Amino acid sequence: MKPVAIFRFARSEGPAYFATVLERSSIPWTLIALDEGAKVPRDAAAYSGLAFMGGPMSANDALPWIAPVIELTRDAMRRDLPTLGHCLGGQLMARAFGGEVTRNSIAEIGWGEVSATPEASQDRLFRVFQPTETVFQWHGDVFDLPRRATLLALSRACPHQAFRYGTSVYGLLFHLEVDRGELEEWLRQPEMAAEAREASVLDDITVRSGDHLPRLGGLARDVFGAFCALIDERASSLR
């Protein structure tokens, strides 16, 4: 099977639990570290799926890799490749299909509730969501829903938390991939710790993580597992 390409925009924001689920599903993956100068592939033909992680930059920044990432996402859509974006990655997914990315009036940092839409119960990835789930957030920008996209989750502060475009492209604003190791790494970053402290959530993140990480891990296992099933089905159809 061709590997899944995982695009990293910042060293501290790697694939975390997403990579764990890929490996448990015996799906190969390769890291494309744009933060270290790696180039964006010209097309998605070499991969069985794409995943885009988070980062501190904006999807609207004048960075040389943003336009190629958006075009690669469109190419993956044309090829019907499963594609998944987390936070910044989700914002890039939205931009690729006509949604705008803007600064939100409230930065969501830390543990917070999202509500699943009725459509989520019929979605292959999101049907494991209860009507309300506690997830981990770290963003100031938000995305509009692309035209013809299906809204899957929302929060009080952000009306668009997750969407599906077509049958296999997913954009998430929250960090479903975060595990304990990655979360601890984030809080060791001076800028991220200062941001959490300024938002008065640093202690709350630490205290509540023990309660919420196990459920988040279960959601991630099931959602990412369903994403792996999409990859397997797509690969089988091409044999």
Active site amino acids: 87, 175, 177
Opening angle at CA 17, ends 14 and 171, nearest 5:
75
CA dihedral of residues 8, 150, 212, 224 (deg, nearest 10)? -50
What's the CA gap between 47 and 5, in Å, rounded?
6
| Amino acid in the structure at residue 126 | F
Please say whether the beta carbons of 187 and 196 come within 8 A.
yes
What's the CA gap between 73 and 79, in Å, rounded?
10
What's the CA gap between 87 and 116, in Å, rounded?
17
* Centroid of chain to Cα 237: 26
**Alpha helix ranges (H) inside 166-201:** 180-188, 190-198
Please say whether the beta carbons of 85 and 56 come within 8 A.
no
